[in-house]
Structure 1
Amino acid sequence: MNDAAAVAYSAVPVLMLLTSLVPAAVIFSLRENQVRVRTTLNLAGATAKVGFVVLLAPPVVAGEKLRASMTWAPGLEIVLVTDAFALFFVGLSAVLWLLTTVYAIGYLEGAPNRSRFFGFFSLCVTATTGIALSSNLLTFLLFYELLTLVTYPLVAHRGTKEALDAARTYLAYTLGGGAVLLGGVVWLTTLVGPVEFTAGGVEEVARLAAERPATATAVAAVLLSGLAVKAAIFPLHGWLPVAMVAPAPVSALLHAVAVVKAGVFGIVRVVHDLFGVTVLADLGVLTVLAVFAGVTILYGSLRALTQDDLKKRLAYSTVSQLSYVVLGAALLAPMATAGALAHIVHQGLMKITLFFCAGLFAEVLGLSKVSELAGVGRRMPFTAAAFTIGALGMIGLPPIAGFVSKWSLALGGLDAGQPWVVVVLVTSTLLNAAYFLPVIYALWVQEPEEGVEWSTAPHRERRGSLEAPLSLLVPTVVTASLALAAGMAAGWEYSPWQLAQLIAGGSYP
């Protein structure tokens, strides 16, 4: 590769940001009736981001890194890098952004304030991409806080009192967590100077832990506490079920790739690429983190059991499922780490499918509660089938992707000498079955209640077909198919599971 080509290639991380930042800037200026231009910008940006991921996958998997930096102030740099973990997360966000964009275009057809919605929608993906590509704590913090600010208008989009109250709750939690994270970043930078994420941990941070273990423990606790808000770790999860008042595409993005995944992504970075698992294990931090994750897994599942509102049931399921990632990251075993990383993708595919389906049940039939879903599988068979795949995957039934994650985490728990992890996973699986199987049973087996007339349900006349429009149905079926394929093709070289193993291997000496 000549010098000119090398320079151009190194600009790819910046270009990946621009694929969503530029469309956002233009979309804000569009009139509501400029539907074709807005749609073209949305789809072009989303497609370009996927293209960059495909372009970078082979060299990054082979060990090559692209780095782009800008000096912000003396000693402070904004640095973007495409290491394997960064591309892993960007790949998930790029694919799901494209599919969610198609879904959102159909879902919001004829709705007001679409330019505002899609502008902030693109900024949300820009911030998520920046988080994934961040090479140091400062860069991570900037994009992490940007994500908080640009997601607020999406949660508040409907403008109702309920939406505005939920958005304020979301902002209070996430800004509070961001303030704590800022304190941790400033504290660590004061102690060791600016550092870049390094697989296995940063040498200067390890030296601090050896010389001043109490201080290092306190810094780690502050950083992880700040990140725990967006990761929805109990008892800092309260914003997530409340935020379900947002439109279905926003709920899907929040739960599958954006806000909550930024939290768990940050925790994995701090544990594996800042302190290092061995350092945090010696400090005793991993044990505490694992316990909080285990409690959250069970708590989220128990709360999901009691929810009749479908989106809230899914929200508490997310609270539980996110902590699978945290639990795997906190266990001193490569298999557990690989399971955690794979679950970032697997949970994203399954959960976005479930939220897409919940949006279709509400949009087409006006149904939002589990108790209302009897017989809907006959009315919307493709949507119900997609929901069934996502739900069975969450339970952990093979060959869907969720099984691969849970099996890996269980083996990792045994490898780490923590058999209680298996007990937590088995209990959680039973609870998953307890709150998902009744929904599947209602969809396919139960008869509709006497007197129910779907033809008079909200949106029925406008939609007027047996299923949702293709712009809504196709993304839903695709994500369900990807969740199934990720489980069935786990042995394929570029599957999420195989890539997760590759990344996890670099975290251990």
Structure 2
Amino acid sequence: MSTLGDETLRLALALLLPLIGALGIWLAGRRPDVRETVTLSIASLLFLVVASLVPAVLGGARPELIVAEPFPGIQLAFRLEPLGMLFAAVAALLWPINSIYSIGYMRGNAEQHQTRFYVFFAVALFATMGIAFAANLVTLFLFYEILTLSTYPLVTHKGSDAARDGGRVYLGILIGTSIGLLLPAIIWTWSLAGSTEFVPGGLLASLPEPLSPTLLGVLLLMFMYGIGKAALMPVHRWLPAAMVAPTPVSALLHAVAVVKAGVFTVVKVIVYTFGVETLQGVPAAQWLLYIAGFTVVVASLIALRQDNLKRRLAYSTISQLSYVVLGAALLAPLSLVGAALHIAAHACGKITLFFAAGAIYTAAHKTEVSQLRGIGWRMPWTMGAFTVGAVSMIGLPPAAGFISKWYLLGGALETGQLVAIGVIVLSTLLNAAYFAPIVFNAFARPAAEDAADHGEAPRPIVIALTATAALTLALFLFHQVPLALAGQMLAGPAQNG
């Protein structure tokens, strides 16, 4: 078998492994140790398979797997390309770490329905791989919907009235935007181009007659708000509503899969469907830059007012996601590289913050920012990791967020967009304003006199959050591979398969 054939086989394996894992977890449901061994084994194997594909993509290979052609010209197909490879690598790397964390959290809090939790988590990773490797808009849409449906039981896991209410908002907004706007946008694109393929340089750039600026602006609007997972205001409410879920689910939503699927799709559509040159200089497309900037700043202001730690982190996520959208909307090579890098940087930093929030809840049963005074000396590993995540969100060295923000700011300077420059500077100050007091109070102020004595959370939780904090620092020092993938995103393929 040729090397390219081996890559196609590994691509298929990367798609199938999470489903195999879901089946194995379900079969082992009555034996928790076996169930969790299956989870960790499949998650680790997926990472190894995905990691083995990175050198081929960096070498220019673009192998393709066509599964079916249900309608003429519409295929269920998958293809390796740099942006999807970056997204898949981030998700595959964080799944085993999240699984270690989940074991400690679910057992430490005696959560019910643990088998169901692990099964749907695996299905969500199956959908994530499908989104990352989708060769066209139709395939991406199918797996986008599978991701929404598979995470709904995770959001409503606790079964309480609050969980069901949060789940209804979650499902209503995400399904409503995708069916009401994203699907019509895909159909419209197909009617214009006769294809839904992702094409280097942009599918719509190859039209015999260019679309009018007004139609381009309308189509862009439908795509951007149809991708509800990107949480652009005002279709962001699903994200704080989903905070009723257990913390490992919050980590999945904010770092591994759901929101990253949203901003990944935004960048992919702009680069591979519209084409950067198609949108450059189109006044009707400039609204995206301003909406993204508005979301960055307003979400940061709302985060400042939240005393509940998970809600503060949720609004921080809404703000950070729009950094990616802002980078894509600038349509500059540097900003697009920054947008892709921020997908990875935010994933590592934000999962660390949510892991820390869950550790605090498990060990100290505290959920509010105002309750965290002095907790740093009782939980030094947890709050040390939290500090690393916070530094990355602010965008300071030596954390990964500095690298992505540097490229985003470079893109803003390259295009002379003063609004974008102002947004990045102001939001950085706001990030510091809502993260720095948490760290200061945790380490520099004494605990309340009536504070219960406690130590760190269970060991699997501490191991996981320490690992993701280390990844956040490592990505600052060793960012060559994600940077190379992000840079290749703007180039055509060297070979096809």
- TM-score by structure 1 length? 0.93
Describe how 1:420-499 pairs up with structure 2 within 5 A: 420-455=419-454, 466-490=455-479, 493-494=480-481, 496-499=482-485
Q: C-alpha distance in 2, partners of 1:501/1:334?
A: 8
Q: C-alpha distance in 2, partners of 1:384/1:167?
A: 30
Q: Tell me the alpha carbon deviations over residues 26-79 of structure 1, each in whole angstroms, 9 at most, x when there is no partner.
A: 323443x31122112211111111111221111110111121012231322111
Q: Tell me the alpha carbon deviations over residues 412-435 of structure 1, each in whole angstroms, 9 at most, x when there is no partner.
A: 101012122111111001100110
Match of 1:375 in 2: 374
| AA of the residue aligned to 2:38 | L
| AA of the residue aligned to 1:140 | L
- How far did residue 234 of structure 1 move? 0.8
Q: Is the aligned partner of 1:193 residue 2:194?
A: yes
| AA of the residue aligned to 1:195 | T
Kindly tell me the number of residue pairs found equivalent between the two proteins. 489
Of 427-436 and 218-227, deviating more is: 218-227
SS class of match (1:78): strand
Aligned residues of 2:189 and 2:196 also touching (Cα < 8 A):
no
Q: Tell me the alpha carbon deviations over residues 335-371 of structure 1, each in whole angstroms, 9 at most, x when there is no partner.
A: 1111111000000000000000000000111011000
Q: C-alpha distance in 1, partners of 2:428/2:486?
A: 22
| AA of the residue aligned to 2:190 | T
| AA of the residue aligned to 1:39 | E
Aligned residues of 1:206 and 1:279 also touching (Cα < 8 A):
no
Q: C-alpha distance in 1, partners of 2:7/2:419?
A: 47
Describe how 1:199-214 pairs up with structure 2 within 5 A: 199-202=200-203, 204-207=204-207, 210-214=210-214
Of 64-73 and 127-136, deviating more is: 64-73
Match of 1:501 in 2: 487
Match of 1:462 in 2: none
Aligned residues of 2:25 and 2:36 also touching (Cα < 8 A):
no
SS class of match (1:351): helix
Q: C-alpha distance in 2, partners of 1:134/1:470?
A: 37
Q: Is the aligned partner of 1:47 residue 2:36?
A: no
Q: Tell me the alpha carbon deviations over residues 143-189 of structure 1, each in whole angstroms, 9 at most, x when there is no partner.
A: 00111100100000000111111001100000011112111111211
RMSD: 1.7
Describe how 1:85-484 pairs up with structure 2 within 5 A: 85-109=83-107, 110-179=110-179, 180-202=181-203, 204-207=204-207, 210-227=210-227, 229-455=228-454, 466-484=455-473
Match of 2:69 in 1: 72
Aligned residues of 2:220 and 2:285 also touching (Cα < 8 A):
no
Q: Tell me the alpha carbon deviations over residues 424-453 of structure 1, each in whole angstroms, 9 at most, x when there is no partner.
A: 111001100110011001110111112222
Aligned residues of 1:206 and 1:275 also touching (Cα < 8 A):
no
Q: C-alpha distance in 2, partners of 1:285/1:258?
A: 31
Q: C-alpha distance in 1, partners of 2:369/2:469?
A: 20
| AA of the residue aligned to 2:268 | R
SS class of match (1:308): coil
- TM-score by structure 2 length? 0.95
| CA distance 1:212–1:504, change in 2 (3 Å) | closer
- How far did residue 332 of structure 1 move? 2.5
| AA of the residue aligned to 1:123 | V
- How far did residue 106 of structure 1 move? 1.4
SS class of match (1:235): coil
Query: Where do 5+ consecutive residues of structure 2 fail to align?
Result: none
Aligned residues of 2:202 and 2:276 also touching (Cα < 8 A):
yes
Q: C-alpha distance in 2, partners of 1:403/1:370?
A: 25
Q: Tell me the alpha carbon deviations over residues 92-148 of structure 1, each in whole angstroms, 9 at most, x when there is no partner.
A: 000111110111111111432111111100001110110000010110000001111
Q: Is the aligned partner of 1:61 residue 2:58?
A: yes
Match of 1:459 in 2: none
SS class of match (1:72): strand
Of 295-304 and 72-81, deviating more is: 72-81
Relative contact order higher in (CA < 8 Å, ≥ 6 apart): 2
Q: C-alpha distance in 1, partners of 2:44/2:209?
A: 44
Match of 1:23 in 2: 21
| AA of the residue aligned to 2:31 | Q
Q: C-alpha distance in 2, partners of 1:177/1:369?
A: 32
- How far did residue 501 of structure 1 move? 2.8
SS class of match (1:237): coil
Percent identical among aligned pairs is 42
Q: C-alpha distance in 2, partners of 1:432/1:371?
A: 17
SS class of match (1:454): coil
Aligned residues of 1:281 and 1:287 also touching (Cα < 8 A):
no
Q: C-alpha distance in 2, partners of 1:197/1:126?
A: 20
Aligned residues of 1:382 and 1:477 also touching (Cα < 8 A):
yes
Of 428-437 and 104-113, deviating more is: 104-113
Q: C-alpha distance in 1, partners of 2:152/2:168?
A: 8
Q: C-alpha distance in 2, partners of 1:182/1:350?
A: 32
| AA of the residue aligned to 2:265 | G
Of 186-195 and 387-396, deviating more is: 186-195
Aligned residues of 2:412 and 2:418 also touching (Cα < 8 A):
yes
Q: C-alpha distance in 1, partners of 2:103/2:170?
A: 25
Aligned residues of 2:310 and 2:357 also touching (Cα < 8 A):
yes
Aligned residues of 2:200 and 2:491 also touching (Cα < 8 A):
no
- How far did residue 206 of structure 1 move? 4.0
| CA distance 1:341–1:286, change in 2 (3 Å) | farther
Q: C-alpha distance in 2, partners of 1:209/1:103?
A: 53
Of 8-17 and 83-92, deviating more is: 8-17
| CA distance 1:506–1:299, change in 2 (3 Å) | farther
Aligned residues of 1:86 and 1:133 also touching (Cα < 8 A):
yes
Query: Where do 5+ consecutive residues of structure 1 fail to align?
Result: 456-465
| CA distance 1:368–1:36, change in 2 (3 Å) | same
Of 431-440 and 208-217, deviating more is: 208-217
| CA distance 1:40–1:498, change in 2 (3 Å) | same
SS class of match (2:456): coil
